[in-house]
Structure 1
Amino acid sequence: MTSRDDDQPTERVVIRDKRRIDPTGGKVKSEADSKDEPVEAPEKSERDTDKEHKPSHAAPDEAVEGEIVEEAETTTEPTEPEAPSKDASPLGAELEALRSELEERTNDLQRVTAEYANYRKRVDRDRGLAAEQTTGTVLGALLPVLDDLDRAREHGDLVGPFAAVSEQLVAALGKFGLTAFGEKGDPFDPTRHEAVAHQTSAEVTEPTCVQVMRRGYLLGDRLLRPALVAVADPE
């Protein structure tokens, strides 16, 4: 069974205290008191004027809140603090000094590296020239021996074991870059031949070596000794 209290609806009594705030700074008066005493209307401010022009469907509290937020956004914009100057800070000055020192040391290293590379090239070139000069000196001293071998070959005396020794000597000297030149019938080259006799001949069309008294030798591309020849000019 249900009780009697549950069947009947419960009545809720709400007492509202309707009071108005006196805009002039007076005491709070109830709605009944405000009917008896006339209240002077306060002067409208610019904000109240703006509220009257706002649409009626917008709540007054929301409008005021929106105005307050907008005013706060326009008036209280945070400003970013200025970054300290790098040049003025001790760390920036020290960093700039280290950077300058590093650049100076890098330039010094590049200069020393270039000087060392040039020094190596110069030393290698001088070493090659010194070796070539030494080899030329030794081979120049052996040229008279080669001349005697050439005369013995022309007379037919270079035979037997002596001929084998002569060929081995020429092959060994050739390994050092020694090359013989100067044969009968070669065109006359004043840079490589030394003419000791001149004659005319109808058999040649240009100056030609018709006789070789002594062969010349080259050491690589360098002339070690010119050849002695007799030259025939065309008639």
Structure 2
Amino acid sequence: MPDDKRPEDSQQEAQFDAIAAAAELSEAMAAKDGEAAETGSSDNYIAMLESEIEQLNALVEKRNRQLRAADERATQAQEDVAQAEERLQRASAKELEQRSRALLSEMLDVLDDLDRAIEAARERQGDAPSELLLGVELVHRRFLAALQSRGVSEIAAMGQPFDATVHDAVSMVPVPDAAQDGKVIAVTRNGYLIGDAVLRPAGVVVGKKA
């Protein structure tokens, strides 16, 4: 069967195929460019997110540092308050002790006056004490009992070895007896303790072997 296709038809088909191929290539390139653009946009978005995350992390760390600093300041403030309260308590206790000692010292002066009055009255009256002397001795005993109820006790002195922590040597006297060397042979003023602390040392005369 003879081929009825003319040369003009073959050229048109060839031209048509070339145009189609060019169109497909153009579409393929456009699609590739679109994918590249989308990929680039995604990369930029990820980079932006990473930057924001870093900023948020930095902000969180800053806030954490501020919180730690605030907590340290609060802790220090609590310690300062506790120390201030402790100092105040010590100061109050010390002030109270000082006032108590001052008051008791004044009471000891009164007790000394009673001691001297009793001693003088005994020297004058001998073995027949008057009612006045007996009354003064009663006041003396009550006064001493009141001091003892507040923790005050008399310091042992007469005949005791001299102890500088509780005795105040007003003088030293030569003694012939070696047994009296370094011992209290006379008391010029009674001494007193409050608890275990010296309220007033005893005034004493100490013997010294000649």
What is the TM-score when the length of structure 1 is the normalising length? 0.54
Structure 2 partner of 1:122: 87
- CA distance in 2 between counterparts of 1:206 and 1:193 reads 15
Please state which structure has a larger fraction of its residues in helix.
2
Cα 1:101–1:223 shift into 2, 3 Å: same
Displacement of 1:107: 0.5
Structure 2 partner of 1:107: 72
Displacement of 1:97: 2.4
- CA distance in 2 between counterparts of 1:85 and 1:101 reads 24
- The question of 1:198 aligning with 2:173 is answered yes
- CA distance in 1 between counterparts of 2:113 and 2:60 reads 80
Long gaps (5+) in structure 1: 1-80
Number of equivalent positions: 154
What is the TM-score when the length of structure 2 is the normalising length? 0.59
- CA distance in 2 between counterparts of 1:86 and 1:153 reads 100
Structure 2 partner of 1:142: 107
Structure 1 partner of 2:161: 187
- CA distance in 2 between counterparts of 1:87 and 1:118 reads 46
Displacement of 1:181: 0.9
Displacement of 1:153: 7.0
Displacement of 1:185: 0.7
After TM superposition, the runs of 4+ consecutive aligned structure 1 residues lying more than 6 A away are none
RMSD: 3.2
- CA distance in 1 between counterparts of 2:62 and 2:51 reads 13
Q: Identity of aligned pairs, percent?
A: 29
Deviation per residue, 1:34-80 (Å, 9 max, x gap): xxxxxxxxxxxxxxxxxxxxxxxxxxxxxxxxxxxxxxxxxxxxxxx
Larger gyration radius, structure 1 or structure 2: 1
